[in-house]
Structure 1
Amino acid sequence: MKNPYAPLNTFVAPAVPRAELWRLGAGVALIVALALLMATAFGALAQALLPAEGYARYAAATSQGPGAVLFILFGFGFFLIATLVCADLLHNRRPVTLLGHPTLAILQGVRVMVAVLLLGIVLWLLPPWDMSDLRPGLAFVPWAMLLPMALVAVAVQVTAEEVFFRGYLLQQLAARFSHPAAWMVAPSVLFGLLHNDPSLGSNAIWLMLSATLFGIAAADLTARSGTLAPAIVLHFVNNASAFLLVSAQEDLGALALYLIEVDLADPAQMRALIAIDAGVLLCSWLAARIALRR
């Protein structure tokens, strides 16, 4: 019987020569420290270079509304840079090895993008949809004007997360341990834990569970494809929909065209929302798998 995870061996191969656990621990510490250092330096540089009035406008624009969401999303770029630097410094590997073979990654990414977008269109068109819970978010004209920048911002955010979780962590763990519990489940659980939202109280567990399931699906696609592209595309479509089309979180929905009326503190509503997300994730994961078989 053919091993569906055979491409994982090629994807993990660059990590094997320097797969010591101490390097992984040091690498995670270096990535966090370097990202925070760059973020702090960026803020200090902006304050030093901009005139007082200009810096005040910059601070106001990035503290609320669409500017705040863009600021958060682009901020993940520091973690992306830090992860690429870590792969080079601590593991003596070319940063591109975190992605996989570039040509294959592009081909797989295009296939998965087409499949997942077609699925999304079908899901939007299929009845019955109750639109009564939707209310207008950002007005259409500013939404359309910000859309190109917002798409780039989402791409930066999801690429940073995938390069770290399904690239760096998955590869380094798979180079040491063959069992999927180590390279698939463990990074996904960490991914879920980092999505904890204390403001949701006991309901935060559902959000963490949803993120963990997504991590497992993304890791599965990475192992089946041998590149990071399918996971990046799946993550991009998922987050672009949540940030730019319909958002359930008002504080992070400033870029969304619509907001959905849902009380995230209500266990019943939260479970229903997570169930819908899980169903869409399952369909998207299956669509990506079908696209990768071509």
Structure 2
Amino acid sequence: MPYAPNARFADPARSKPELWRIPAATAVMVIIAFLLQALFVSLLLTTLINDTPTTSIIWEDDPLGASSTMAMPFAETPVARLGLLAVFGTFLVGLAVALRALHQRPLGSLLGDRRYLASDTIRVTLACLILIGLLAVLLPSPVDNYPNPNLSGGQWALLLLAGVPLIALQSGTEELFFRGYLQQQLAARFSHRAVCIAVPSVLFGLAHLSEVAGPNMWHLAIWATAFGLAAADLTARTGNIGAALGMHFANNLIAMLLIAPKGYGSGLALWHMDIEISDPALQAYFLPQLASIFCTWLAARLALRV
């Protein structure tokens, strides 16, 4: 049975499977995350800004964008992108507290079968990095003249020291919540695996809705939903989040550190495409991107033989 590991994966959730606990735990996680973020911003403003209005801060000779407080939501500078990734640490703390408060179980219970967790993560990460790199070269490009330099090689290499761990934090937090918490709780409550695979994936897609994407907003959400389905399927087949984490981590390494659209999310990228994420021209690239998800899912399955 290819999905037998999913039943064992859900075992930690079976003691408290009531559906009301899911929105309650999610609310606790979000509230704690926002409180921690507010505390951090307050300390930052007090320590560094010395009561200067945040909208008027402009520092000269600031190649890393350390003063670009207005760029934070769009992660257009290195510091803004690193800050946005670090925010996921507050959600991780909130998730840990919510699990203890509402389910009386530790954060580690979301990982699944730990015997193969590390090996699954490493093997899938490597397989997907190779494949995504090849697809980036082989698939048609939405623009004719990319890549364009975004950071110098030395600056980019230095930023990797913080960027790679923070991308792991961001990818890991999302996987722990969507493929770990939600998939376990729904699998413990419903016998049909379609529920525990589809529902978290749709929510994952909706979480990626962004007005910054303009007319491409729903294309981005559909892409994220498809990605979530692939990650959830791998989790159900392996009984741990290692494969999903590996696929997610590899995708984000390429998307955030190598090639990103111009402006939005390009703060850590070595190169950028001369096109913005809201450009309708990207819609022609949508189907190849969906096909690439299938390819990475298949590569992960082949790497793990599941």
Does TM, normalized by the shorter one, top 0.5?
A: yes
The residue aligned with 1:213 is 226
Instruction: Tell me how far apart the structure 1 counterparts of residues 38 and 269 of structure 2 sit (CA, whole Å).
Output: 28
The residue aligned with 1:34 is 32
Instruction: Tell me how far apart the structure 2 counterparts of residues 26 and 134 of structure 1 sit (CA, whole Å).
Output: 45
Give the superposition deviation at 1:102: 2.5
Question: 1:156 and 2:163 equivalent?
Answer: no
Give the superposition deviation at 1:72: 0.4
Query: How far does the alpha carbon of each residue in 1:25-54 deviate from its partner, in whole angstroms, 9 at most, with x for none?
Result: 211111111111111112223334557399
Give the superposition deviation at 1:133: 3.0
Distance change (3 Å), C-alpha of 1:279 and 1:43: same
Which residue of 179, 202, 210 corresponds with 1:189? 202
The residue aligned with 1:106 is 118
Question: 1:75 and 2:87 equivalent?
Answer: yes
Distance change (3 Å), C-alpha of 1:228 and 1:191: same
Q: Which amino acid aligns with 1:44?
A: S
The residue aligned with 2:190 is 177
Paired residues of 2:204 and 2:225 also in contact (CA < 8 A): yes
Distance change (3 Å), C-alpha of 1:273 and 1:12: same
- Identity of aligned pairs, percent? 40
Secondary structure, in 3 states, of the residue corresponding to 1:142? Answer: helix
Which residue of 103, 111, 119 corresponds with 2:131? 119
Structure 1 stretch 60-69 or stretch 183-192: which is displaced more? Answer: 60-69
How much is the aligned-residue C-alpha RMSD, in angstroms?
Answer: 2.5
Distance change (3 Å), C-alpha of 1:128 and 1:78: closer
Give the superposition deviation at 1:103: 3.1
Q: Which amino acid aligns with 2:88?
A: F
Instruction: Tell me how far apart the structure 1 counterparts of residues 277 and 47 of structure 2 sit (CA, whole Å).
Output: 41
Higher helix content, 1 or 2 = 1
The residue aligned with 1:244 is 257
Query: How far does the alpha carbon of each residue in 1:161-214 deviate from its partner, in whole angstroms, 9 at most, with x for none?
Result: 111111111111111012233211111111111211224333311111001101
Secondary structure, in 3 states, of the residue corresponding to 1:247? Answer: strand
Which residue of 188, 204, 223 corresponds with 2:217? 204
Paired residues of 2:210 and 2:217 also in contact (CA < 8 A): yes
The residue aligned with 1:231 is 244
Give the superposition deviation at 1:280: 2.0
Query: How far does the alpha carbon of each residue in 1:8-39 deviate from its partner, in whole angstroms, 9 at most, with x for none?
Result: 11110000000111211211111111111111
The residue aligned with 1:7 is 5
Q: Which amino acid aligns with 1:283?
A: C
Equivalences, count: 291
Paired residues of 1:193 and 1:208 also in contact (CA < 8 A): yes
Paired residues of 2:124 and 2:243 also in contact (CA < 8 A): yes
The residue aligned with 2:303 is 291
Distance change (3 Å), C-alpha of 1:276 and 1:262: farther
Give the superposition deviation at 1:76: 0.8
Secondary structure, in 3 states, of the residue corresponding to 2:10? Answer: helix
Secondary structure, in 3 states, of the residue corresponding to 2:185? Answer: helix
Unaligned runs of 5+ residues in structure 2 are: 60-64, 72-76
Instruction: Tell me how far apart the structure 1 counterparts of residues 214 and 48 of structure 2 sit (CA, whole Å).
Output: 40
Give the superposition deviation at 1:216: 0.5
Q: Which amino acid aligns with 1:75?
A: V
Q: Which amino acid aligns with 2:115?
A: T
Question: 1:60 and 2:75 equivalent?
Answer: no
Paired residues of 2:13 and 2:185 also in contact (CA < 8 A): yes
TM-score, normalized by length of structure 2?
0.87
Q: Which amino acid aligns with 1:117?
A: L
TM-score, normalized by length of structure 1?
0.90
Which residue of 11, 15, 35 corresponds with 1:17? 15
Structure 1 stretch 161-170 or stretch 99-108: which is displaced more? Answer: 99-108
Q: 4+ residue stretches of structure 1 with deviation over 6 A?
A: 53-59, 127-131
Secondary structure, in 3 states, of the residue corresponding to 2:272? Answer: strand
Instruction: Tell me how far apart the structure 2 counterparts of residues 127 and 204 of structure 1 sit (CA, whole Å).
Output: 22
Query: How far does the alpha carbon of each residue in 1:81-112 deviate from its partner, in whole angstroms, 9 at most, with x for none?
Result: 11122112210112111111333211211221
Secondary structure, in 3 states, of the residue corresponding to 1:132? Answer: coil
Which residue of 235, 260, 276 corresponds with 1:222? 235
Which residue of 265, 270, 282 corresponds with 1:257? 270
Give the superposition deviation at 1:239: 1.0
Paired residues of 1:11 and 1:100 also in contact (CA < 8 A): yes
Question: 1:272 and 2:284 equivalent?
Answer: yes
